[in-house]
Amino acid sequence: MALNHGTLHQDPALIKWNNMNANRHKYFRWTPRTAWVTFAYVVLVPSIIGTAFYMTDGKYEMRGKRRGDLIVEY
């Protein structure tokens, strides 16, 4: 019979990782790598996607097409 009902042995590595993950904002530093990654995801990727959508605006029509019809309007 088990002496400790309902308790689990806690892994010290998981506890350390959980504390680090919860307090990540306290240990964050701006480095060239983190600045570049932030710039890429905040500015570069949305601008590329927005430019692609702007360049193809109105070019494709998906509604009311039958088999064999082209989706390209011009």
Q: Kindly report, residue by residue over 26-45, the tens digit of the pLDDT.
A: 989 999 999 999 999 999 99
The C-alpha atoms of residue 53 and residue 18 are separated, in whole angstroms, by 40
Percent of the chain with pLDDT over 70: 91
Identify any residues that bridge with 60 across adjacent strands, giving them in sequence order.
72
Kindly tell me if the per-residue pLDDT of 1 is higher than 60.
no
Tokens 């590595």 -> residue: 13
Indicate whether 7 pLDDT > 60.
yes
Residue 30: half-sphere exposure toward Cβ, Cα within 13 Å: 4
